Amino acid sequence: MFANRGAAIILACLLLGACGAPQLFPKSVTDGVDANFNFIAWRNTPNAKVDRKVQIGGKVLEAGSQGNETIIIAIQLPIVEHPAYGPKDTGKRTGEFAIVFAGTLPPHALASGHRIIAVGTTQKAKVITVEDSKRTLPTMQAHCVHIWKTGGRDIADFSSVGAGYETLEEDTYCAPGY
């Protein structure tokens, strides 16, 4: 009797959870995120929209540490719910941006091609050297980032990489205070 009830509760929880996007970040972090944020407009005039709380998805291009900060250069990708929740490469390039994270992240989490969602506030554009050339990139100060270690594949395609089955590592990292 108890086992049946337990199974029913677990099933109900799973089915309820199945319909929504997974909660990657603490609610306090995502509260106040601008749902109508236009990345292209921000990229074109990065200094016009400072201190707005945003959530941006992308693909890691390059990353490095500067003092106690980690700077991630990413290509923006749309965040989709299907076929799997997360940033999805649709083949259209909308532009690159920089994520500044207060703290260090493990090197294996920053490999090129990993998918990332960052929540934070927009800042003034920074001049950043990407592949030996200086670029002025729209910049956000990340409160939290969630990284899928896909190594270049889309999230939905990952389990079929290679000739077998592999679990997809993903982790959320938050800056101190968040």
Partner 1 sequence: MRRIRIVLAAGVLTGAVLFGAGENMILAGELPAEQASSHRSTLQVAQASSESQKPPSNKSGTSIGGESLEDILLNKGTITMDEWIKIKAEEEYRGAGRDFRLDSIENFKTNVESLPILTDKVNFGLNALQWLYTHQDAHVPEGKSQDNISIRRSEFLFWGKINDTIPRWHALYEFQSINFGNSTPATAGATGTPVSATFFRESYIDFRPVQAWAPNLNYIRLGIFRMPFGIFTETSGGLRDVISSPYLTSVGSGLGNRTGTAGTIDFIQERDFFLDARGKIANRLEYAIGIMNNNNFHANATGSNQPKAFYSRARLFGTDVSFVSFTTILGESNNAGTNINGRGKGAFDRWAIDARYTSKLIPGLMIQGEWWQGHDGANQTTVGQGANGACQITAICGGSGAPGVQRRTWYVLGKYLINDGLFQNWEPTVMYEQFDPSTGTSNDLYTRTILGLTYYFENFPPKVQSKIQFNYEFRHHQGNGPGVAYDSTFDAFAQNAFLVQFQIRFM
Q: Report the nearest approach of partner 1 to the CB of residue 24 (Å).
A: 10
Among 35, 40, 164, 176, the residue binding partner 1 under the rule CB under 8 A is 164
40 counts as binding partner 1 under rule CB under 8 A? no
22 counts as binding partner 1 under rule CB under 8 A? yes
Comparing CB distances to partner 1, the nearer of 5 and 134 is 5
Strand partners, 126: 137
Q: Report the nearest approach of partner 1 to the CB of residue 42 (Å).
A: 25
Q: Burial of 105 by CB count in 10 Å (0-12 exposed, 13-18 middle, 19+ buried)?
A: middle
69 counts as binding partner 1 under rule CB under 8 A? no
Residues 6+ positions from 178 with CB-CB distance below 8 Å: 26, 28, 29, 143, 144
Core vs surface per residue 72-97: b (16+ CB within 10 A) or e? bbbbbbebbeeebbbbbbeeeeeebb
82 counts as binding partner 1 under rule CB under 8 A? yes
Residues of this chain that bind partner 1 (CB under 8 A): 13-18, 22, 82-85, 106, 111, 151, 156-157, 160-171
